[in-house]
Copies of this chain bind each other. A is one copy, B any other.
């Protein structure tokens, strides 16, 4: 049985839960409270030296960190990871875009607004985070105005990766009402068979 070490409130962890549900694959969820330092214990660091969740643990004890690497691993051989070389490259392109140009702004703004005290010094970062986050949303909107999904014309791991924090962008103060194509794409994702919302 697969074990997912993760925190339900984390979009990166939700990616893994969502894919496993879509695949209909049984798994055990081990809730980790990162805010309480549970990713910095010697036991956790022995499984992932980088001290982050999600972490996928196979039945034989092998461990794989990095949400988007986990998605690719789990989706192998399923319709959610393209077989075609070019389409798979496009899925990866959008997953690297997500981790470099989207998550550090959209997810971090959400983290500051949702999990830190209202008078926390990091709120000073919000203007810059929102500026860069909107740039990422603009890039997504331009793509989705012409294509229903991010790679290969169909629902893939790239959509799961980008859905995780985009659907919750309002938590970080982003106004999604200005993005018509993103709004329709969010609906297409949540209409997938076996879809589960975050927190389920």
Contacts and interface: CB of A to CB of B under 8 A. Distances in A.
A6 to B, nearest CB: 16
The binding surface of chain A is classed by DSSP as: helix
Contact of A64 (B66, B67, B89, B101): B89
A93 B100 CA distance: 14
A155 interface: no
A104 interface: yes
Contacts of A50: 97, 101, 139
Contact of A69 (B64, B93, B101, B104): B93
Contacts of A68: 92, 96
Interface of A: 49-50, 52, 62, 64-70, 72-73, 76, 85-86, 88-90, 92-93, 95-97, 99-101, 103-104, 139, 142-143
Please state the number of chain copies in the assembly.
Answer: 2
Given A69-B92, A73-B89, A92-B69, A142 B64 contact: no
Nearest to A102: B50
A68 B143 CA distance: 20
A76 B69 contact: no
Contacts of A86: 62, 73
A100 B105 CA distance: 12
B85 A76 contact: yes
B92 A49 contact: no
Contact of A142 (B49, B73, B101, B142): B49
